[in-house]
Amino acid sequence: MFELLTSAELYDAHECAHIIYRGPVKNLDAYQSLRGRLLQSLAEYVAEQRQYIRHTPKAEIFVYLHMAEFLIEKNCGDPALHFLQKAEDIADFIRHYEFRHLIYRLKIENAALLGCDIEDIAHKWDLNGRRLGMYRHLVITSARARKVLEQSRLTGVVVDPNEVMAQTFSKISLDVEEANDPNYLLAIAQAVRSVFIPTKNYQRIDAFVSRYYNRILSHSGFGPADRDVQVSFLYMLAHARFRNRLFDSSEQLLNEMEALLPGNAFSAHPYYAKAISLRATLMSYTHRVNEAIALMTTVIDPAKKRSYITDRKERYNVRLNLAVAHFHENDFRKAFKTIQLMGHKDAWLGKHLGREWLYKKQLIELIIQVELGRADVATAILRHIRGEYSDFLSQPIYQRAAQFMDFVALYLDDPNMVTTPEFQQKVKAAGLGWGDMEDVQAITFFCWLRSKMTGKPYYEVLLERLAEEVEI
């Protein structure tokens, strides 16, 4: 049943029951009972994988609050106040404004039983309310920025980041304490990153996130309670450094990130799939393709549609990165088969992973078909891409992608043309893939074209380009 429910194919209850019980099933009671037991087992497994959460400060606060509420119900004021105070001390330590809000409310509501100073608690509650309100505003701002990113990802339409920044950040005003709180700074950094990712301006993302990360380090540093905040910062920096071709720095940041999550804490963490995907891609771009493939095949089944990654987006990212890794090894048939095992049609992939993601996937398919000697199939894909993405490619940020498509069309018309001085002069004039600000993913495509122009192996051309600036 687990394999059926997690497969890429979508089965309804009757279809699943038919497969499990090897025949038509009219009454689904037994099937539903089996499904319930499976879900219970999965819940217990997830809880076991997330054992580390039980020992976090937030978990301790929950324990103390439950104990305090129980004692309040029994009219035991002194011990209830003791547990509330322990909860408040931890909430102060981790700067958790929502927990503080709940603790102050319980103290005020039960002030007579607990013997609390109402005016003192009321003053703390008011001050915390201001901080909580600003934090909520930041969370909402970050959510709006992520929505802009999601809409851009799905539609392929890039918005003006400066306009979004002006609209979403206009009402943010932090005092000194808030301006040095890791939680506040993370919310702002994530929002800004979401705004600029569609523009591919990873230099600006790196600079902004680095400034906030270093500000925290220079002010008070990351305490034990800030582990998840630091993990988020490290991943954002590692990803930006990778896209900026600072591979050693990116890998070092990933190492620091994993060091904060020992044992099962790493595999159970929300960033696990992203970290695996990024590390494998780093390996693939630094002459360690075999290691990259080995790592990726620990989380997805290379021969089937099955994946062990629960993050849907990263599941398909890893599958596509695995295809690219096989391409790097000149194993074009395996690259083609890997893409075929996506498990969903392009319409579904575009809806859930975005238009740009689907464009890159189809462009990779086109190049694979060229290497497999199927020029007619590649030409058909090219024709489809040009028709389907004409509005997408007309945007200024995708202008160079459109130029690349033009060069691919010329190559398909006459493969021998790419070695002529005339063709090479056109590519040189366009400067495709050779600018200082060029994104690593764009370079990957352009190096394939460069390999055809020079007659050198594609992966060799790619590694040379990534190692240093190369003039055509």
Higher-confidence position of 267 and 418: 418
pLDDT of residue 114: 92
C-beta of residue 279 within 8 angstroms of C-beta of residue 242: no
Return the sign of the alpha-carbon dihedral for residues 128, 129, 135, 136: positive
Question: Residue 470 pLDDT more than 60?
Answer: no
For the chain, the C-alpha Rg in angstroms (whole number) is: 27
Whole-angstrom distance between the N-terminal and C-terminal Cα of the chain? 56
Residue 300, SS3 per DSSP: strand
DSSP-derived letter for residue 180 is T
C-beta of residue 338 within 8 angstroms of C-beta of residue 302: yes
**Hey, where are the domains in the chain?**
2-49, 137-244, 344-472
- For the chain, give the mean pLDDT: 85
C-beta of residue 179 within 8 angstroms of C-beta of residue 203: no
C-beta of residue 445 within 8 angstroms of C-beta of residue 433: yes
Higher-confidence position of 173 and 311: 311
Measured distance CA(439)–CA(318) in Å, rounded? 19
| Cβ neighbours of residue 106 closer than 8 Å, sequence gap 6 or more | 65, 68, 69, 72, 84
Higher-confidence position of 29 and 430: 29
Instruction: Give the range among 13-17, 248-252, 327-331, 450-454 with minimum mean pLDDT.
Output: 13-17
The whole model's pTM is what? 0.76
Which pLDDT band holds residue 331 (cuts at 50, 70, 90)?
very high
Question: Residue 123 pLDDT more than 70?
Answer: yes
Residue 431, SS3 per DSSP: coil
pLDDT of residue 472: 38
| Range among 133-142, 166-175, 197-206, 374-383 with highest mean pLDDT value | 374-383
Measured distance CA(100)–CA(361) in Å, rounded? 47
Measured distance CA(236)–CA(244) in Å, rounded? 12
| Cβ neighbours of residue 169 closer than 8 Å, sequence gap 6 or more | 141, 188, 191
Q: Give the closest residue to 378 by CA, choosing from 408, 345, 341, 342.
A: 408
Residue given tokens 């990116």 in the structure block: 250
What pLDDT, in 10s, does the model give residues 198-230? 888 899 899 999 999 999 998 878 887 788 899
What pLDDT, in 10s, does the model give residues 381-405? 999 999 998 888 888 888 888 889 9
How far lies 151's CA from each of 70, 133, 352, in Å? 46, 27, 11
pLDDT more than 70, % of the chain: 87
pLDDT of residue 44: 67
Angle at the Cα of 364 (from 349 to 436), degrees rounded to 5? 110
Q: Give the closest residue to 229 by CA, choosing from 85, 57, 103.
A: 57
Measured distance CA(187)–CA(189) in Å, rounded? 6
C-beta of residue 124 within 8 angstroms of C-beta of residue 111: no
C-beta of residue 165 within 8 angstroms of C-beta of residue 145: no
